[in-house]
Copies of this chain bind each other. A is one copy, B any other.
Amino acid sequence: MQRTVDVVIIGAGVIGCSIAYQLARRGISTRVYDKNQIGAEASSAAAGMLAAQAEFMDSRPLFDLARQSRSLFPALAEELKACSGVDIGFVHHGLLRVARTPEDVLTYQNMASQHVGLGEEAQWLSPEQALELESGLSPSIHGALYFPQDGQVYASQLTLAYAQAAASYGAVFQEFAEVQEIIEDHGCVTGVRLQGEVIPCSNVIVASSMWTQELLSKNGLHVPLFPVKGECIAVKSMKPLLRRTIYTDGCYLVPKSNGEIFIGATVHPHSYDRKVSIGGIAALIQAAEELIPSIRSAEFSRAWSGLRPQTPSGLPYLGEHPMLKHAFIASGHYRNGILLSPITGMLMADLIEGKPPAADLTPFAIPALPKQQRVKEELITGV
């Protein structure tokens, strides 16, 4: 009589669902619990960019992981469609990282050389060349770095597709089910507690965004994570304003396959607040106009926000917790959860199976920190 599940995944965001899909495909008994609905948080708020080259200019470990993950999308889109019927909206029209200052120009040209040296496509475009590709761009830009392989998906549909495909392979999902505690015995996971009930299991994978921190604090562990709130808007335009994703430091514009353009995103570290402020909307509109002046007359469609989980190092946690056996963490993907979800699913499944993982996980190791004890008698500060 089998009395336990192999793996309990806590969190049905894009990361938890991708892991569930990989595990279930490999025949491993898997349950996924989420305190809300599938993809309810950051996974649905994401613009769905697959900016493997544009995003990581400084971080080599993420850059490598991101390119590896991006390369999985073409096959994945087919698989998920076949298993689940859900279309993830994968397209790769390319992405332009726009130079807005003379300083950017040299930086981006160097970048292009490096990427080409690593075997990736990357092309420096003069302002004239950039406007030839995207005629809506402002003539005042200083050029652009063009990544023809960067693409995009529909973030919420990707999450749903993972979940339904996982379910088709036997994974069990329970929504509105908050795991309150990971049960351990002698430093080893034995189960999870869920609304008064205990579910025994051999392994736990915590993919709970920044809530991972609070959950593990009950086991005396400290996994530093914090939210970075981002606000976005979507606009519609009868006249097509752009075909490729436009990306700069303060703003990106992603043309979606239903004719909408997503404009994102503000950056508010340490904000748990989910409100979309009108100041945030005004800032997005201003930034978008600087890139695509005629977007000012586009029709407003909607506004939303999401809380992206960040770590102090900027690298996600991927691995087993060094102080709690069989407790795995896959959290802290910041704004790259969509892009990194395919490789994260594979790597975590490898770890569960005891296989050598498909990428070097050393940079993503979880630090061995006990729960912090704060001095209790702090002065109250104004709120």
The answer to whether the Cβ of A110 comes within 8 Å of any Cβ in the partner chain is no
Least Cβ–Cβ distance between A322 and chain B, in angstroms: 22
- Encode A163-192 as 1/0 by CB contact (under 8 A) with B: 110011000111111101001000000110
The answer to whether the Cβ of A65 comes within 8 Å of any Cβ in the partner chain is no
Q: Chain B residue with minimal CB distance to A191? A: B376
Q: Chain B residue with minimal CB distance to A93? A: B85
Binds B, one of A100-108, A297-305, A356-364: A297-305
Oligomeric state, in copies? 4
A164 to B160: give the CA distance in the assembly, Å: 29
Q: Indicate whether A379 sits within 8 Å of B87 (C-beta atoms), given known contacts A278-B300, A300-B278.
A: no
Q: Are B257 and A278 in contact (CB under 8 A)?
A: no
Q: Are A279 and B257 in contact (CB under 8 A)?
A: no
Least Cβ–Cβ distance between A296 and chain B, in angstroms: 4
Q: Indicate whether A297 sits within 8 Å of B279 (C-beta atoms), given known contacts A259-B86, A272-B177, A376-B191.
A: yes
Least Cβ–Cβ distance between A6 and chain B, in angstroms: 12
Q: Are A258 and B376 in contact (CB under 8 A)?
A: no
Interface residues on A, range: 35 or more
The answer to whether the Cβ of A195 comes within 8 Å of any Cβ in the partner chain is yes
The answer to whether the Cβ of A246 comes within 8 Å of any Cβ in the partner chain is no
Q: Are B285 and A281 in contact (CB under 8 A)?
A: yes
Q: Are B285 and A87 in contact (CB under 8 A)?
A: no
Q: Which residues of B contact A235 (CB under 8 A)?
A: 278
**Interface residue ranges of A249-295 to B (CB < 8 Å):** 255, 257-259, 271-279, 281-282, 285-286, 288-289, 295
Q: Chain B residue with minimal CB distance to A190? A: B376
Binds B, one of A46-54, A55-63, A139-147, A237-245: A237-245
Q: Chain B residue with minimal CB distance to A89? A: B87
Q: Which residues of B contact A161 (CB under 8 A)?
A: 259
The answer to whether the Cβ of A75 comes within 8 Å of any Cβ in the partner chain is no
Q: Are A200 and B281 in contact (CB under 8 A)?
A: no
The answer to whether the Cβ of A3 comes within 8 Å of any Cβ in the partner chain is yes
Q: Chain B residue with minimal CB distance to A91? A: B87
Q: Which residues of B contact A298 (CB under 8 A)?
A: 277-278
Least Cβ–Cβ distance between A295 and chain B, in angstroms: 7
Q: Are B285 and A278 in contact (CB under 8 A)?
A: yes
The answer to whether the Cβ of A374 comes within 8 Å of any Cβ in the partner chain is yes
A4 to B298: give the CA distance in the assembly, Å: 29
Q: Are B198 and A240 in contact (CB under 8 A)?
A: no
The answer to whether the Cβ of A42 comes within 8 Å of any Cβ in the partner chain is no
User: Given B87, B191, B273, B379, which contacts A258 in the complex, CB threshold below 8 Å?
Assistant: B87
The answer to whether the Cβ of A365 comes within 8 Å of any Cβ in the partner chain is no
The answer to whether the Cβ of A323 comes within 8 Å of any Cβ in the partner chain is no
A380 to B2: give the CA distance in the assembly, Å: 9
**Can you show 20 pairs from A to B with CB atoms below 8 A apart?**
A3-B377, A5-B380, A85-B257, A87-B89, A160-B259, A164-B238, A164-B240, A167-B238, A175-B238, A176-B271, A190-B376, A200-B380, A233-B278, A277-B296, A278-B299, A279-B285, A279-B296, A282-B285, A282-B296, A300-B303
